[in-house]
Amino acid sequence: RRGDASRLFVAGDSAGGNIALILAMRAGQHGGGATIRGGALLDPYFLGKYVDPTAQRAWGFICAGRYGMEHPYVNPMALPAASWRRLATSRVLMTVSDLDRLGPWQRAYVDALRGSGWPGEARLYVTPGEGHCYFLNNLESPKAAMHMATLAAFINRDT
């Protein structure tokens, strides 16, 4: 009664960014229901053939050992490009912290999404000199404020 289903967004940081992406992809595959206007993937926990044992242990903990390192939940590049074209959003914001070791996979996803035939807008926002999800630990910093302002402007944009 109080919500506006025409302004629905999905967003998440770190592993929550992965969840937001999978939710938007499933909505596009199954159709019907609410339309997702946009998605914000804030320093998502995207990996690929990552050999770092610490990242592998962290992913194993995040998903309770259910999914390997090449599963689309952690490696969206493993999804066929046809599924990207069914992404149920008209725009995606990807934030990347410049010192985040996950940055190469985050950037690669934006590039691949842009080249996939998906008709939406993929925006990349990079924060220099910061690590993974820095904005959660230093809410008062000017960079965190700019990150939040970018997210708010992305969500509140009319089109």
Over 90: is that where the pLDDT of 5 sits? no
pLDDT at 27 over 80: yes
pLDDT in tens, 32-41: 666 789 999 9
Record the pTM. 0.89
For residue 63, what pLDDT is reported? 87
Confidence bin at 3 (pLDDT 50/70/90): confident
**Which pLDDT score is estimated for 8?**
87
26-35, 110-119, 122-131: least confidently modelled range: 26-35
DSSP-derived secondary structure for the chain: ----GGGEEEEEETHHHHHHHHHHHHHHHH--SPPEEEEEEES----SS---HHHHHHHHHHTTT-S-TTSTTT-GGGS-HHHHTT-S-SEEEEEEETT-TTHHHHHHHHHHHHTTT--SEEEEEEETT--TTGGGT-TTSHHHHHHHHHHHHHHH---
> Each residue of 48-107: pLDDT tens digit?
766 678 888 888 898 899 988 888 888 988 888 777 787 889 999 999 999 999 999 999
